[in-house]
Amino acid sequence: MSWQARVLAGVLRAASHFAPRDLDRVRDKLQQRGHTGGSAPGKLKSVHITTWESHGMTIVRLTPSGAAPTKTVFYCHGGSYCYEAAGLHWQFLRRLVLETQAAFEVPMYPLAPVDTAGSTVPAVTAVLAGLSPSVVMGDSAGGGLALAVLQQLRVQGAPQPDKLILIAPWLDVRTADPRQRELERGDLMLRVSMLQAAGQMYAGELPLDHPFVTPVLGDLRGLPPISLFVGTRDMLSVDARELVRRCREVGPPLDLIEAPGMQHVYPILPFLPEATQARADIAALIRSTT
């Protein structure tokens, strides 16, 4: 593990003392926010930003300035299904746009608890069906959404992308595996209680084992090859290993890239050599698709 990763761990450890603990207050604050899915970033260096509307949400399109994109990537951002895309997401995507010369379509999907999986998954599926991208990607909750959407896309008989790239995907909102309680001590970004509360808000009236919210239990047959990036100190590495197990039983082929000592969504974190390497690997995967 790099010295930069050790420094970041110290910063995250200090910041964790200020994380919200009152789940009812968090839920009330999110409820008062109303129907929203976030908005486009104001500006990204060397990247052209446009927006369009589809199925009740804004889609942010990122393309390399002054160049025609070579292919399209559909990206679902993380945020526990409750929070909009953060600055780290946009900077991560800016780098990928420039390194791949691809267009990135990023849906500002509606957020929980006002909007829930029962409406969000079909809406995002409808948007994706109209794009036919080469690659679908997602991080954390966005990884879970990406997997759920591809399952629905297959049910509808629509074409699958060439590749699914997942970054620390949240694939089981129940967050009930005892191993996650053990990993919680070393995970400086996630808490079991917060994930369970967010998962319940996103599930809405659906049972927690419904494939819209726990897609690792859904039908994985017929999906494209998967590349999955996760750190060993991430509680969601448990979800990653369960997906590996399920894919070995029914397919599709899955390549697990597990980074020792890394925290949640490490590939999108700044200044880490491990993140730089992961981003280079992701860019190579994107460039390799047709």
- Bridge partners of 60, per DSSP, are 51, 106
> What parts of the chain have a pLDDT lower than 50?
17-18
* Predicted TM-score (pTM) of this structure: 0.94
* Rounded CA separation 276/59 (Å): 27
| CATH C-level class of 22-287 | alpha beta
Q: Give the pLDDT confidence score for residue 31 in this predicted structure.
A: 76
Q: Give the pLDDT confidence score for residue 140 in this predicted structure.
A: 98
Q: Give the pLDDT confidence score for residue 18 in this predicted structure.
A: 47
Q: Under a CB-based contact definition with an 8 Å cutoff, are residues 76 and 142 in contact?
A: yes
What's phi and psi for 111, nearest 5 deg? -105, 150
